[in-house]
């Protein structure tokens, strides 16, 4: 899976959890939680769904490394 494919997959999961967000609102380096008003429950749901799809489990101490779309895609690409 390329990093772009992972990015698309992440966007898909964000839209699944928060259908009212439009794709343009998701910027590569904006904090997902703060800028998209994704709360801790939604965030966990997104990570759980991504775990099911990729097998990569993000431990809590790595949350800072998956705070933006760009860094999250990089994290998953590095752990596949």
Binding site for another protein (CB under 8 A): 18, 20, 33-34, 37, 39-41, 44, 47-48, 51, 57-61
Q: How far, in Å, CA of 11 to CA of 67, rounded?
A: 13
Nearest Cα to Cα of residue 19 among 44, 53, 41, 42: 42
> Which of 10, 58 has the CB closer to another protein?
58
> Which of 56, 77 has the CB closer to another protein?
56
CB of 59 to another protein, least distance (A): 7
């Amino acid at each position: 899976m390329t990093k772009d494919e992972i990015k698309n997959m992440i966007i898909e999961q964000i839209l699944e959890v928060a259908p009212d967000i439009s794709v343009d609102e998701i910027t590569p380096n904006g904090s997902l939680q703060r800028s998209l008003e994704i709360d801790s429950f939604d965030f966990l749901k997104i990570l759980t769904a991504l775990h099911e799809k990729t097998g990569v489990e993000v431990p809590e101490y790595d949350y800072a490394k998956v705070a933006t779309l760009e860094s999250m895609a990089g994290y998953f690409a590095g752990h596949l």
